[in-house]
A and B are shown apart, each in its own frame.
Chain A
């Protein structure tokens, strides 16, 4: 008991330390010069050597690993190709691979590690919109670069992110246009319960009203749940002309199973998907022949550059042998970065962003020659609708007549309410 009299003193000492810590001399709110990020530690990227460090951040474990491992693999292939061709600005790519583990805080932690500990010049990866939302504040406050390769819901822009997948007006809107051209009057929306499907469906509903398509139902199931039985029963009851599928990952397997178990068929109630590609189609456990998907790249696409891409991928170690839209977009992202750095003549983030604005950067991608929009950091893309054939490849049934310019905030579309756009840009800024 002799020490009990010392205890309050210890508590006081610790309390005093906390008080001191709280009165630290850091910036307060309202000190906008600091809020902008200028007070962040200066970049530690060192490109004076013979190589440049890049970070690849993909979920190698967890639920998204099945999709993201392919992206990681194709990034490695692109890095090998670029290195074989002399590297970027004559410097060989030295990559650091990190695992996002399908856990959004892990994505944030690893982004910070790659930028401040490994000092990489740019990071490539991510798949779900949740992972991108976790990475965004970290690359912004450290003034890093992040290249995101998957189609997404749009309504976002960041000086520190380049989007090489489609935004809504390059995938969702072409799909809606196609449905309208096919005389679809009743549409059912089925999606995973997270940011992409929710936002995509909000946009679909606005555009459907414009097109005169009635939304006869809207159902969500969490990303990690596979049981779609009760939701599919609602589809049966609603008798839609088409089902718009924004389900992501393995939950699709459960959805397709419930769909066929309920007696639905591609001939009468077809599905149009924005997340099922060549890679996923064979994994559905059911014949998905006759179902549709909207993408910007298909393996069956006839371009000058596609055959070589498919051939390299088939020869690459651990490759699945099939190519798909997200992996093609990941492949683009590394080459686009190379083109940007070479146009800038520097790996510096601000110089790269300035080069993007200075003149149009292009790349002869497997989907065709894509052009970067230096203002919104998205790329132009062709729109395609494919129908799955018996060999799990897509027969292209519709293509946009030209490359679609990226419009993440849907500024060219009158039916998108201006006040919502303003609220979103305000919230983003």
Chain B
């Protein structure tokens, strides 16, 4: 099997890193740099979805849950940091006399917050994944279950207005781990951290895809029973991919908060989770760069087309999605390979089964 040479991908990550970390801050206005920072956060989550769905075949429709764990951990810390010794303003508004809810207390600590951003998604995805994969829950059942979790969490947050800010969300953060968020130099720093984390995540999946684990993951996706007969436990392979993808979603969520300055349940619910999937499918779920670039493209469409044609842009998104799924089931990143294949003999790529086949599987 001929694989694309690893240094080409590594070079690609290098070019991507230079574009994001050096070129973008020089050429973009503050507003657009901030927007690109936001797309980076979605892209970090998308890289994880690429790993779990593209390579692992697990249609994770509820990544909003893990995005929320990171985002709300960060938002609670920043809210407390801005409030100082006082109880946050919105809590006073709803119930002036009640104390700070118990689960907020530890988020005063920066160390605990960082630990929570990493450990909460790992533990939750670990428990969830273990229970599901050991019972061999997969396909549509897995997808519906994850989606239901996202809906449930969004509803829970909406209905606990005093504890979580409810539908209004958490906003008005003044400091980011001691740095004044309003300072342009600090805004650039926050952007660079988000972009740097995206590059790190890409490097991590690049290494995973090349490793023995990456081969096993693709094998599990394409022929789980055969992997089992070879003596591996597919559940463990899937569990690792699912946990890593949850961790990435959480990191994306955590950086979303200082960059966008507000987090609400609408950003983590069903629609938001599906939009994350849409970006990944659009870009190419099994490729290295596809998920990240797809997520960034969808984000750009939302800011840009959403301004010029508010009523129409969601139709454009839907139409592009249909076109890509119909004609390029492996996403836009498979376009060069398609063109090359049309010219010469087919280039083999670790492509997932087309969506049609997956639907057949779901139906059966």
Contact partner, B83, options A3, A117, A223, A427, Cβ 8 Å: A427
Q: Is the CB–CB distance between B168 and A129 below 8 Å?
A: yes
Contact partner, A194, options B34, B168, B188, B314, Cβ 8 Å: B168
Determine the chain B residues whose CB is within 8 A of the CB of A101 once the complex forms: 306, 310
Q: Is the CB–CB distance between A193 and B159 below 8 Å?
A: yes
- Nearest B residue (CB) for A194: B167
Contact partner, A105, options B7, B21, B197, B264, Cβ 8 Å: B264
- Nearest A residue (CB) for B81: A29
Q: Is A37 an interface residue (CB 8 A)?
A: yes
Q: Is the CB–CB distance between B96 and A417 below 8 Å?
A: yes
Q: Is B261 an interface residue (CB 8 A)?
A: yes
Q: Is B2 an interface residue (CB 8 A)?
A: no
Contact partner, A104, options B32, B83, B182, B262, Cβ 8 Å: B262
Determine the chain A residues whose CB is within 8 A of the CB of B17 once the complex forms: 14
Determine the chain A residues whose CB is within 8 A of the CB of B207 once the complex forms: 7
Q: Is the CB–CB distance between A423 and B96 below 8 Å?
A: yes
- B274 CB to nearest A CB, Å: 15
- B204 CB to nearest A CB, Å: 9
- Nearest A residue (CB) for B14: A10
Contact partner, A134, options B95, B171, B178, B306, Cβ 8 Å: B171
Query: 1/0 contact trace for B1-25 toward A, CB 8 Å?
Result: 0000011001001100100010000
Determine the chain A residues whose CB is within 8 A of the CB of B30 once the complex forms: 41, 116
Determine the chain A residues whose CB is within 8 A of the CB of B7 once the complex forms: 3
Determine the chain A residues whose CB is within 8 A of the CB of B168 once the complex forms: 104, 129-130, 133, 194-195
Q: Is the CB–CB distance between B166 and A193 below 8 Å?
A: yes
Contact partner, B189, options A24, A110, A417, A420, Cβ 8 Å: A24
Q: Is A22 an interface residue (CB 8 A)?
A: yes
Q: Is the CB–CB distance between A155 and B93 below 8 Å?
A: yes
- Nearest B residue (CB) for A37: B182
Q: Is B126 an interface residue (CB 8 A)?
A: no
Q: Is A397 an interface residue (CB 8 A)?
A: no
Q: Is B130 an interface residue (CB 8 A)?
A: no
Q: Is A392 an interface residue (CB 8 A)?
A: no
A28-B21 in contact given A11-B203, A129-B168 (Cβ < 8 Å): no
- A409 CB to nearest B CB, Å: 12
A136-B203 in contact given A21-B189, A39-B182, A194-B167 (Cβ < 8 Å): no
Determine the chain B residues whose CB is within 8 A of the CB of A209 once the complex forms: none
- Nearest A residue (CB) for B263: A105
Taken together as a complex, chains A and B put the C-alpha atoms of A389 and B262 apart, in Å, by 43
Determine the chain B residues whose CB is within 8 A of the CB of A22 once the complex forms: 189, 193
Taken together as a complex, chains A and B put the C-alpha atoms of A104 and B263 apart, in Å, by 8
Most central of B173, B182, B185, B264 by chain A CB within 10 Å: B182
Q: Is A358 an interface residue (CB 8 A)?
A: no
Q: Is A180 an interface residue (CB 8 A)?
A: no
- Nearest A residue (CB) for B160: A193
A198-B94 in contact given A105-B262, A134-B171, A193-B166 (Cβ < 8 Å): yes
Binds A, one of B44-52, B60-68, B84-92, B231-239: B84-92
A27-B264 in contact given A10-B10, A109-B35, A194-B161 (Cβ < 8 Å): no
Taken together as a complex, chains A and B put the C-alpha atoms of A31 and B13 apart, in Å, by 38
Number of interface residues of B (CB under 8 A): 71
- A187 CB to nearest B CB, Å: 19
Q: Is B179 an interface residue (CB 8 A)?
A: yes
Q: Is the CB–CB distance between A427 and B89 below 8 Å?
A: yes
- Contacting residues of chain A (278-337) with chain B, CB-CB under 8 angstroms: none
Q: Is B349 an interface residue (CB 8 A)?
A: no
- Contacting residues of chain A (386-429) with chain B, CB-CB under 8 angstroms: 417, 419-420, 423-424, 426-428
- B360 CB to nearest A CB, Å: 35
Taken together as a complex, chains A and B put the C-alpha atoms of A340 and B121 apart, in Å, by 52
Taken together as a complex, chains A and B put the C-alpha atoms of A222 and B200 apart, in Å, by 39
Number of interface residues of A (CB under 8 A): 65
Query: 1/0 contact trace for B242-265 toward A, CB 8 Å?
Result: 000000000000000000111110
A424-B310 in contact given A10-B203, A25-B185, A222-B158 (Cβ < 8 Å): no
- Nearest B residue (CB) for A24: B189
- Nearest A residue (CB) for B29: A117
Q: Is the CB–CB distance between A195 and B166 below 8 Å?
A: yes
Contact partner, B88, options A37, A113, A427, Cβ 8 Å: A427
Contact partner, B196, options A6, A14, A104, A202, Cβ 8 Å: A14
Determine the chain A residues whose CB is within 8 A of the CB of B182 once the complex forms: 34-35, 37, 39-40, 141
Determine the chain A residues whose CB is within 8 A of the CB of B184 once the complex forms: 26, 39-41
Contact partner, B175, options A25, A29, A193, A419, Cβ 8 Å: A29
Q: Is B109 an interface residue (CB 8 A)?
A: no
- Contacting residues of chain A (1-38) with chain B, CB-CB under 8 angstroms: 3, 6-7, 10-11, 14, 17-18, 21-22, 24-29, 31, 34-35, 37
- A96 CB to nearest B CB, Å: 9
Query: 1/0 contact trace for A191-223 toward B, CB 8 Å?
Result: 001110011001000000000000000000011
Taken together as a complex, chains A and B put the C-alpha atoms of A399 and B167 apart, in Å, by 34
Q: Is the CB–CB distance between B303 and A109 below 8 Å?
A: yes
Taken together as a complex, chains A and B put the C-alpha atoms of A99 and B313 apart, in Å, by 12
- Contacting residues of chain A (93-143) with chain B, CB-CB under 8 angstroms: 98-99, 101, 103-106, 108-110, 112-113, 116-117, 129-130, 133-134, 136-138, 141
Most central of B90, B168, B184 by chain A CB within 10 Å: B168
Determine the chain A residues whose CB is within 8 A of the CB of B172 once the complex forms: 133, 136-137
- Can you list 27 A-B pairs with a CB-CB distance of less than 8 A? A11-B203, A18-B196, A21-B192, A21-B196, A24-B186, A25-B185, A26-B179, A26-B180, A29-B179, A37-B182, A39-B184, A41-B184, A61-B314, A99-B310, A105-B261, A105-B262, A110-B307, A116-B30, A117-B32, A129-B168, A130-B169, A134-B169, A137-B173, A141-B182, A420-B96, A424-B92, A424-B93
Closest 9 CB pairs of A and B: A427-B89, A26-B186, A99-B310, A26-B185, A21-B192, A24-B189, A130-B168, A420-B96, A26-B183
Which A residues are closer than 8 A to B by beta carbons?
Answer: 3, 6-7, 10-11, 14, 17-18, 21-22, 24-29, 31, 34-35, 37, 39-41, 60-61, 98-99, 101, 103-106, 108-110, 112-113, 116-117, 129-130, 133-134, 136-138, 141, 153, 155, 193-195, 198-199, 202, 222-223, 417, 419-420, 423-424, 426-428
Not counting A14-B199, A105-B261, a sample of 10 additional A-B residue pairs whose C-beta atoms are within 8 angstroms of each other reads A7-B10, A14-B200, A34-B183, A61-B310, A108-B261, A117-B31, A141-B182, A153-B93, A427-B83, A427-B88
